[in-house]
């Protein structure tokens, strides 16, 4: 796409801001409904009231005043969930230090990032948007719904896991080299260093917790001494203490099997929960360990060998891990792949032979489980949020295109309407160019 065209299309988007006029009430009629967890209806209806799925079945009636969307010949699926991306943020890495658990992506949500809109065009309704992988311990991540046009705070999914980003391997090793050219390299510069610095920080966090416990105990004593003073509050250690208390869970960027296994050891030593290894091209080598520990993976479906630590990735990794009992999700890592995650899921049919349902799970219920939102999202079930994507064909088809994206019963993307508005805007632009046109 050339620049002018891109600028032109982006120019139109502003006019295509979502309509929220449905008040969270919608009836989607006559579509092929793929619930993901409760089978499929070849011709069914889906009723959303107050943002929540009220009913799924045949011949449902719309209560008065509820908008009806005709989905005849179309496929209705749960809104796609991206378990690992970096969109909608002002900044990705805090490279000023090696351990930066004190930073929180919640503080830098950028609700006007156009990537939210492009995500909607690919049926994505929710994304876990994360600190980058420059630091062995990055920062806290945030789960957002793609409510384009709404203020930042309304995007946050409060019930999602509070997560803390870790990174192993080349990225934290090389972060300083990339940033500072000829500058003295920062510590750590090796995998063993990465492991060691994380371990040292965990020990510091344990000590921090101990200090606080001791202090709180002493204040509760009968006659606390006059010399009793609280420990200094340290936001960095506090985040790690939250991890050790189980209020935060770890999301770990890792590539190789060995470093991942070492990290599992570390998590056991300190007793914190790893939800997911991110990318992990070598996951297929350690499926037993992942399964036993209940650790999932969030992966690119078909990227490997783009760097040495990714050399041993295989095409069927996602499928293989799935078949071996690992909870797998397919992620985008950024705005570009995010709008075609359904294509990515489709690849697992060919490479690894997953069933359609299994493949769809990789971009719906599995990431929902990994984000801790399976009670409200990830499948079409009565009582869950009305987050829905409507496709022209089966979403795993190579010809699939998202036609409409709905979040909590409000239409946030409607391709037909968008194209119409785009055409009108183009016409107006043409008019304006004519002599005497414009105002």
Binding segment for another protein (CB under 8 A), chosen from 10-18, 285-293, 317-325, 366-374, is 10-18
Fill in the per-residue mask, 197 to 236: x = in contact with another protein (CB under 8 A), - = not in contact.
Answer: ----------------------------xxx-xx-xxxxx
Near another protein by CB under 8 A, which window of 28-36, 109-117, 276-284, 359-367?
109-117
Among 112, 336, 424, 430, binds another protein (CB under 8 A): 112
**Could you say which of 26, 33, 103, 365 contacts another protein (CB under 8 A)?**
103
Candidate ranges 100-108, 243-251, 319-327, 368-376; the one touching another protein (CB under 8 A) = 100-108
- Nearer of residues 155 and 283 to another protein, judged by Cβ: 155
Q: Taking contact as CB under 8 A, which single stretch among the options 7-15, 73-81, 199-207, 213-221 is the one that binds another protein?
A: 7-15
Q: Which of 173, 321, 376, 163 is nearest to 249 (CA)?
A: 163
Query: According to the binding rule CB under 8 A, does residue 97 interact with another protein?
Result: yes
158 interacts with another protein by CB under 8 A? no
CB of 311 to another protein, least distance (A): 29
Interacting residues with another protein between 386 and 425 (CB under 8 A) = none
Q: How far apart are CA 86 and CA 131, in angstroms?
A: 7
* Residue 335: CB minimum distance to another protein, A: 12
Pick 84 or 347: Cβ nearer another protein = 84
Minimal distance in Å, beta carbon 12 to another protein? 9
Q: How many residues bind another protein (CB under 8 A)?
A: 50
Query: 126 or 142, CB closer to another protein?
Result: 142
Candidate ranges 177-185, 360-368, 404-412, 413-421; the one touching another protein (CB under 8 A)? 177-185
Shortest distance (Å) from residue 115 CB to another protein: 10
CB closer to another protein, 7 vs 308 = 7
Three-state secondary structure string covering the chain? CCHHHHHHHHHHHHHHCCCCCCCCCEEEEEEEEECCCCCEEEEEEEEEECCEEEEEECCCCCCCCCEEEECCCCEEEECEEEEEECCCECCCCCCCCCECCCCEHHHHECCCCHHHHHHHHCCEEEEEECCCCCCCEEEECEEEECCCCCCHHHHECCCCCCEEEEECCHHHHHHHHHHHCCCCCCCCCCHHHHHHHHHHHHHHHHHHHHHHHHHHHHHHCCCCCCCCCCCCCCHHHHHHHHHHHCCCEEEEEECCHHHHHHHHHHHHHHCCCEEEEEECCCHHHHHHHHHHHCCEEEECCCCCCCCHHHCCCCCCHHHHHHHCCCCEEECCCCHHHHCCHHHHHHHHHHCCCCCHHHHHHCCCHHHHHHHCCCCCCCCCCCCCECCEEEECCCCCCCCCCEEEEEECCEEEEEHHHHHHHHHHHHHHHHHHHCCCCCC
Both tokens assigned to 20:
């929220």
Choose the binding region for another protein from 71-79, 159-167, 178-186, 241-249 (rule: CB under 8 A): 178-186
Interacting span for another protein (CB under 8 A) from 25-33, 84-92, 208-216, 284-292: 84-92
The residue among 115 and 321 lying less far from another protein, judged by its C-beta, is: 115
Which residue in this structure is represented by tokens 């690849």? 347
Do 9 and 422 touch, CB atoms closer than 8 A? yes
Does 186 interact with another protein (rule: CB under 8 A)? yes
Q: Which of 139, 367, 372, 386 binds another protein (CB under 8 A)?
A: 139
Tell me which of 82, 94, 387, 408 binds another protein, using CB under 8 A.
Answer: 94
List of residues contacting another protein (CB under 8 A): 7, 10-11, 13-14, 90-98, 100, 102-105, 107-114, 131, 139, 151-153, 176, 179-184, 186, 225-227, 229-230, 232-236
């Amino acid at each position: 796409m050339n620049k002018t065209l891109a600028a032109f299309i982006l120019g139109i988007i502003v006019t295509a801001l979502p309509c929220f006029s449905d008040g969270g009430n919608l009836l989607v009629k006559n579509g092929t409904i793929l619930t993901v967890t409760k089978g499929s209806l070849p011709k069914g209806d889906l009723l959303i009231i107050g943002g929540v799925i009220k009913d799924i079945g045949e011949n449902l009636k719309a209560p008065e005043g509820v908008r009806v969307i005709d989905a005849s010949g179309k496929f209705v699926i749960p809104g796609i969930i991206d378990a690992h991306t970096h969109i909608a943020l002002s900044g990705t890495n805090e490279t000023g230090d090696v351990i930066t658990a004190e930073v929180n992506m919640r503080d830098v949500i950028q609700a006007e990032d156009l990537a939210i809109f492009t995500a909607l065009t690919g049926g994505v309704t929710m994304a876990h948007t994360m600190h980058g992988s420059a630091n062995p311990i990055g920062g806290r991540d945030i789960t957002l719904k793609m409510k384009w046009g709404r203020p930042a705070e309304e995007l946050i999914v409060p019930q999602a896991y509070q997560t803390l980003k870790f990174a192993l391997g080349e990225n934290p090793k090389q972060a300083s080299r990339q940033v500072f050219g000829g500058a003295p390299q920062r510590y750590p510069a090796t995998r063993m260093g990465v492991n060691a610095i994380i371990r040292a920080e965990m020990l510091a966090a344990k000590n921090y917790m101990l200090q606080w416990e001791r202090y709180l105990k002493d204040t509760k004593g009968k006659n606390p001494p006059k010399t009793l003073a609280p420990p200094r509050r340290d936001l960095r250690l506090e985040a790690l203490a939250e991890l050790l208390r189980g209020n935060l869970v770890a999301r770990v960027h890792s590539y190789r099997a060995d470093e991942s296994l070492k990290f599992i050891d570390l998590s056991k030593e300190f007793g914190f929960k790893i939800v997911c290894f991110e990318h992990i091209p070598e996951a297929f080598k350690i499926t037993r360990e992942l399964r036993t520990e209940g650790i999932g993976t969030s992966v690119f479906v078909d990227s490997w060998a783009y760097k040495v630590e990714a050399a041993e990735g295989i095409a069927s990794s996602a499928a293989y891990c799935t078949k071996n009992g690992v909870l797998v999700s397919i992620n985008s890592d950024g705005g570009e792949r995010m709008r075609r995650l359904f294509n990515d899921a489709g690849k697992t049919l060919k490479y690894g032979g997953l069933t359609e349902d299994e493949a769809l799970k990789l971009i719906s219920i599995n990431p929902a489980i990994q984000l801790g939102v399976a009670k409200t999202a990830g499948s079409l079930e009565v009582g869950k949020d009305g987050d829905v994507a409507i496709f022209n064909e089966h979403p795993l088809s190579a010809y699939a295109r998202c036609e409409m994206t709905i979040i909590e019963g409000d239409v946030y993307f409607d391709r037909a309407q968008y194209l119409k508005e785009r055409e009108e805007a183009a016409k107006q632009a043409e008019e304006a160019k004519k002599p005497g046109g414009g105002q």
